[in-house]
Amino acid sequence: MMFSAQLKMTLRERQAWFWGIFFPVILMVIFMVIFGGDSNDEFQTEVAVVSEGSNQTSEMLLKQMKQLSVLGIKEEEPVSFQKAKEWVEDGEVDAAIVLPKTAEDTSLKLVVNKEDEQGTTTQAISGILDQFIQQANLAAAGVTPTYKLEFESVSSSTNELDYTDFLLTGMIALAIAQGGLFGMVDMVEMRRKGLIKRLRMTPAKMGIFGLSDMVMRMLFSVIQIVLLSLIGVLIFGAHLYIDFLSLVTVFLLGALSFNAIGYFISSFSKTTEAYMGVANITSFLMMFLSGVFFPIETMPEWIQPVSSILPLTYFAEGLRDSMVYQTGITTSSFWIGIGIIVLWGALSYMIGSLLYKNKSIVATR
């Protein structure tokens, strides 16, 4: 009966549909457009080549550079240093390479924009040019390289995956978590209107009332995960390989746990503004520290322990295990993550229920 009443109250609020369903969709589309570029595209940069003196060495180096597919040369023939400098300053090219002036000169110069000196593209060009010079030195000395590097990437999944798949599952986890964190704001509004006070004067139990609201919010999460998955696959070309048993497990427990955290926040928030402030801070911290956008391993080492205690970290990993890697329910790491999620949810629900129960009826409003 409480669940039915909660559902009717929510459906009467049209804004609930927007904030509960369509806002996460909009949020995911924005982040997928920003971060979800095709990571499989081959890296290529555009450079200008300067040759201030025509000689055998510069011609030989220019010929070899043209064979590098990652270096796109702006002009077929070398340009003046002043012209190349203007292009670098204006951002028309990523860098300029100055060839040796004479056949006896053994140095190449790399000219970059100071504002982008520490940028990824500049570092990549520097590394490419450094490797090119090493190869040229070996060729000039007539030495055949003995060792070479072979690159191979492996995955726990048997399927072809890319960054879009990683980002999609992270955004689904974030949307469901935010739905739980922000979804309980109506409890604060009910307190403001005096409805909680009236409810506590009845035989109804606040714990059951809060649980019914959590289950109702979980229905919104079902709609969210379906909509977000369809958008990710059909519009952004993501790939999903779903293990349904693992997905149902992590979804149900994760959605309930984040709803419980929202319930806990509502238990001590006296105003809607206070509730939204705490929920926003919590959501913001977990958004960037839980591996939603980038793997936790890429974060600074001193901050990784913080990520290891956040529930969203394990919720996102659990969704990836069940929707992408297909390794969920058979691994111990999956169940460790589930245990941490359940612990967060259970503690939040129990503390929230105690706070609601122990408050005097007079202080409820």
119 vs 127, which has greater pLDDT? Answer: 127
Give residue-wise pLDDT tens across range 90-126. 888 888 888 888 767 777 788 887 777 666 677 777 7
**What domains can be seen in the chain, in order of their start residue?**
2-38+162-364 (no CATH), 45-141 (3.40.1710.10)
Place of tokens 């949810």: 345
Mean pLDDT over 211-228 rounds to 76
pLDDT of 360: 45
d(CA 159, CA 174): 24
pLDDT of 358: 73
Give the whole-number percent of the chain exceeding pLDDT 70.
Answer: 77
Mean pLDDT over 299-311 rounds to 86
Asked if residue 96 lies in contact with residue 111, where contact means CB atoms within 8 angstroms, the answer is yes
Q: What is the CA radius of gyration of the chain?
A: 29
Residue 341: is its pLDDT beyond 90? yes
Give residue-wise pLDDT tens across range 143-153. 766 666 665 55
Please tell me the number of Cα atoms within 13 Å of 252 on its side-chain side: 6
Q: What is the pTM of this model?
A: 0.66
- CA 49 vs. chain centroid, Å, equals 38
Mean pLDDT over 122-135 rounds to 75
Give residue-wise pLDDT tens across range 74-98. 777 788 888 888 888 888 888 888 8
Mean pLDDT over 38-66 rounds to 72
Residue 317: is its pLDDT beyond 80? yes
Residue 62: is its pLDDT beyond 80? no
Which ranges of the chain would DSSP assign to H, the alpha helix? 2-12, 14-17, 23-35, 56-65, 81-90, 120-141, 163-183, 185-193, 195-200, 206-234, 244-268, 272-289, 304-307, 311-320, 332-358
pLDDT of 315: 93
Q: Can you tell me whether residue 67 is helix, strand or coil?
A: coil
